[in-house]
Structure 1
């Protein structure tokens, strides 16, 4: 296995290259699908990185696009091979948001807005357990613990200072500080932990107080992930109940980026936020 290969990112990069080849050929996804006797949705899923790409898929597509450079074909075939490997998260079994984990693992920066709870990367074990158990009332204790363990592993991007840390900005609605998740001790520990993490040089936390009133984030949670490699498009992630949404079009990314800047401008400064959270923690005695 190739070291440090992220299959999610490999699929996205490969899909992007295949889309470029199709566009250079002047073909639509429907035309390619007709040539290969497959559905148009398969071609779309291959290009947007939502479906695993086999080396046979690459070979067939290169044939349709008339790619004759052996080096290009070999490079794409290698990417297809790597895209079918497993990331660290696969060891935990079926994780419904595995695509997001793959993106987060590779991201250089993350901007997240959370209106209801503390962001997952900043949660304590106890708080995470209470959040997940409450959100999945029919889940077994084993299923809850598995998701908690995945969340704790994801946090290494924040806490492992020996590696390249994830640059994180978090705007959190005051509601998340007021909503009692678990018991008082759980909440106090979580808020104190949030203050500690907010003092790391690569983590910025801002609270959006109730007094702001209506704001651009009333529609719900979202995250914006950016990557070091310029070939990887910025992604906006919207979490759903049964399915998640990933937006990559420039217009969508721009809209959410502008929205986030408005939220940051309306939120308390990082220093005032720490004082605000410390005061909130004192209420959980």
Structure 2
């Protein structure tokens, strides 16, 4: 029998929700399986995303759990697209755990990000992003691979300006990020102008954390918190390192990062002050280049 492909994030989240529905009713796999006429092993495979679940079988489970109409419709919609991989064409160019993050972004309605060394990817201009990737690659990536990764980064930005339900992004930027010259000086000027343009969008909130604020909860590094549309879908924290990407879903860990984000926001300049700071930096850079 051929091995089934790895489940998508959508499939795993749907499986986790089905497991949650059963556990909140304090029933066992065997009890539910017997009640709906399934084998226990089949239900176990569905709850662990080892096997996908058809819309017909999902309907049987939701009927048994007595799921309300609105939530039922949401889960059925989620199941209808569960096996879809929007970024499948790029899987050979990026690590599997990063592809997983891209799929997770598709499901998110909001992102809170804190950056300590470079700007959050969705805020980057193409020139800034290319300079970052070339610096990070240390010669290990071919120009073609960098081009493909750049395509991904630019495509992700479409979520910020789409006509229907644009992604809400709230980014806190450590001031040291702005002090780091990435690429040529004109690249930084264009990047600052781009930040100012983005800051005018109603779905984007930018704050700069001044260096003079000293020690803060984000000293351990950058992180992003992804928020999902339904109340029953827990937030996820995303951490990126040089060699791997990590996701935190434990409620206590997510709460710790959410608390840190609130502290960082309180320490940072408000959005109006942030725009004023960016405008001053643009004027200063332009004056230097004259």
Q: Following the alignment from structure 2 to structure 1, what is the Cα–Cα distance between the partners of residues 77 and 164?
A: 27
Cα 1:173–1:18 change in 2 (3 A) is same
Given that 2:14 and 2:79 are in contact with CA atoms closer than 8 Å, whether structure 1 keeps it comes out as no
Q: Following the alignment from structure 2 to structure 1, what is the Cα–Cα distance between the partners of residues 90 and 50?
A: 19
Alignment deviations for residues 167-202 of structure 1 (CA, whole Å, 9 cap, x no partner): 111000011101111101111101110111011111
Cα 1:53–1:15 change in 2 (3 A) is farther
Given that 2:11 and 2:52 are in contact with CA atoms closer than 8 Å, whether structure 1 keeps it comes out as no
SS of 1:225's partner is: strand
Q: Following the alignment from structure 1 to structure 2, what is the Cα–Cα distance between the partners of residues 120 and 204?
A: 15
The 5 A counterparts of 1:1-285 are 7-18=8-19, 20-21=21-22, 24-26=26-28, 47=48, 53-54=51-52, 82-87=81-86, 89-94=87-92, 95-96=94-95, 97-137=98-138, 138-160=140-162, 162-281=163-282, 282-283=284-285, 285=289
Cα 1:78–1:71 change in 2 (3 A) is farther
Deviation, 1:14, is 2.1
Q: Which runs of 5+ in 2 are unaligned?
A: 1-7, 30-39, 67-72
Cα 1:15–1:85 change in 2 (3 A) is same
Cα 1:145–1:118 change in 2 (3 A) is same
Structure 1 segments (4+ residues) deviating >6 Å = 67-72, 75-81
Q: Which runs of 5+ in 1 are unaligned?
A: 1-6, 28-34, 37-41
Given that 1:113 and 1:217 are in contact with CA atoms closer than 8 Å, whether structure 2 keeps it comes out as yes
Q: Following the alignment from structure 1 to structure 2, what is the Cα–Cα distance between the partners of residues 276 and 52?
A: 51
Given that 1:115 and 1:220 are in contact with CA atoms closer than 8 Å, whether structure 2 keeps it comes out as yes
Deviation, 1:133, is 1.3
Deviation, 1:20, is 4.3
Alignment coverage as a number of residue pairs: 255
Alignment deviations for residues 212-238 of structure 1 (CA, whole Å, 9 cap, x no partner): 011110000111111111232111111
Instruction: Provide TM-score, normalisation by structure 2.
Output: 0.77
